[in-house]
Amino acid sequence: MKHIMFTAMVSLWATSAIAHSPLEATVPANEATVSKTPSEIVMDFKGAIRLTRVSMTQGNQPSVSLDLDAFSGFASDYAIPVPPIGMGNYLIEWRGLGADGHPLKGSFSFTVK
């Protein structure tokens, strides 16, 4: 029993690591370096999703939640305003609800130089 369960757990742990993101494209693109500070970030999903949380983190600074009040319902394209930012590395982390009822999450990063 324990061997069977252990085998299944290890196998599932390994396969889950390559589950792919429903995010098709972003602006700025993932791992892109841009010279101009963006006033908004664009997230283009493969299907309709309701974003519930989006946060932005610069380096070791505390993360900032981005305002999603302007959005309601499910959509596949989001353009989310961001507060004025300076140069540095940025990590955007998002969570949302897929149209099939699955909670979804993902992240992407970019650099402003």
Partner 1 sequence: MLDLWELASIATRFALYLGVLTAVGTFLTTLLFQITGCRHFTVGFALLGIAATVMGFSLSGAALTGDAGGMVDFEMLGLLWSTSVGTAVALRLAGLGLLIVGLLLGRVGRILSMIGGGLALWSFVTVGHIPDRGSLLLSIALLFHLVAISIWIGVLTPLRSLALDPSRLSDAVRVGHRFGKIAAVFVPLLILAGVYMGYELVGSLSSLVGTGYGQALIIKVLFVASLLTLAAANKLRFIPQMSRGDPAAAGHLSKSISIEWSVIVTVILTTAALTSILTLPS
Closest approach, Cβ 35 to partner 1, in A, equals: 32
User: How many residues sit close enough to partner 1 to count as binding (CB under 8 A)?
Assistant: 32
Q: Is residue 60 within the footprint of partner 1 (CB under 8 A)?
A: no
Phi, psi torsion values for 4, nearest 5 degrees: -65, -45
What is the footprint of partner 1 within residues 27-56 (CB under 8 A)?
Answer: 46, 50, 52-53
- Number of H helices and E strands in the chain, helices first, is 1, 7
63 vs 54: CA distance, rounded Å: 10
Q: Is residue 13 within the footprint of partner 1 (CB under 8 A)?
A: yes
Q: Is residue 113 within the footprint of partner 1 (CB under 8 A)?
A: no
Residues that bind partner 1 (CB under 8 A): 1, 4-5, 7-9, 11-20, 22, 46, 50, 52-53, 93, 95-97, 99-105
